[in-house]
Amino acid sequence: MLPLFSIFVLLASGYLAKRTKVIPQNQLIIFIDFVLVFAMPALIFDKVYHVNIDFHLFSVIACGLGANFVAMLLAFGLGRLLGFSKATTASMALLAMFGNTLFMGLPVLQGILGDDIANEVILYDQMVTCVPIAFLGPFILSYAAPSNVSLIANVFKIMKFPPFLALVAGLLAKSVEIPDFLFAPLRLFSGAVVPVALFAVGLGLGFNTVRSSYKSTALVVFLRMVVAPCFFVAFAWVFGIEFSPSYMVGLIETAMPPMVLASAMILKAKLDSNLAISAIAIGMCFTFVVIPVIIAIFM
C-alpha cells in the first residue's frame, strides 16, 4: 500500500495546488514539457540500455498488446451498440486501449517488486503504450475527427518525439560499453519523472464532468482496468507463459487507469472532452481498489 499512498499524496498535492490557486492550472504544460523533453528521455535511455531483453519478456509484451487491443475493440463495439456519438465512441476506444503504464505503473511496480524491475517496466511502457498510441491514436480518433490522418506526418512526429529518440538510442547503445558515471546526471533527471508527472496529473484533475458522462466513463474504466487484465491472464494461460516478475509487470500494467496522453489527444481533437477528463479522474481513484485486489489474488 505504500506506493499507492505515495501516489495519492502526489496527486492530491497537485489537485490541492489547483483548488487553492497556489499554482494556476494553465501552468500544467510547463511540468509536462519538462517530463517529456528532459526527465522521461533520460529515464528511458538509462533503463532500456540496462534491461535484459529475452523471449519471455517479449511474450509478456505481446499479451499486453493483445489485451489492450481487445479492450479497444470492445469499447468501440459497445459505443456503437449503445448509440453513443462518433466522438464518444472514438474517445472510449482510445481511453480503453491505453493505460497510464509509466507515471502510475512504474511507482506501483517498484513498490511491489523492487527498483530492479524498473528496466522492464520502461521497455513495456514504450512497446505497449507510447509507440502504439503514436501510430494508432490518430487513426482511432479519425473515426470522428473531421481532418484526415497522414501516416507520413505521424511517422515524422514519432521520429522527433524525445522519448522515442531515447528508446532508439538506448537500444542502439546496448552494443557499446558506456561508463556508469555518465548515467549519474541521467538518473538525477529520471528521479523527477514520477513525482513531477503525478503532481501535473493532479493539477489537471477535474470531477465536475463526471455527472454528464458517467455511463461512458464507467464502461471505459471497467474495460481498461478489469477486462484488459482478465484477457492478459487468458492470453498468458493460452500461450503457457509462466508466472514471474515479468508476468506481474504485464498484469499490473494492463490494469492501469486510462492514459493522460490519450485524454490530451481527445481534447486536442475536440471530441468528448467530458469523458476524457472524467475517465482520468475516476480511473485514478479506481486504481486504489483494483491494484490491491490483483496483489491479493496473485502475490
Amino acid making up residue 267: L
Instruction: Using alpha carbons, select from 269, 251, 292 the residue that is nearest to residue 99.
Output: 251
84-114 in b/e burial notation, b at 16+ Cβ within 10 A? Answer: beebbbbbbbbbbbbbbbbbbbbbbbbbbbe
The rounded distance, in Å, linking the Cα atoms of 138 and 52 is 32
Residue of 17, 18, 93 lying closest to 259 (CA atoms): 93
pLDDT at 33: 86
**Cα gap 217→19, rounded to integer Å:** 23
- The secondary structure of 210-229 as a DSSP string is TGGGHHHHHHHHHIIIIIHH
CA-only gyration radius of the chain, Å? 18
Per-residue pLDDT of the chain (299 residues; tens, 9 = 90+): 677 888 889 889 998 999 898 988 788 888 888 988 899 899 999 998 988 888 899 999 999 999 999 999 999 999 999 999 999 999 999 999 999 998 889 889 988 898 889 889 999 998 999 888 878 888 888 888 665 555 566 667 767 778 888 988 998 998 889 998 989 999 999 888 889 988 988 888 777 777 778 999 999 999 999 999 999 999 999 999 999 999 999 999 999 999 988 888 888 778 898 898 899 889 988 999 999 999 999 87
For residue 242, give the 3-state DSSP assignment: coil
For the record, the C-alpha cell of 3 comes out as 506506493
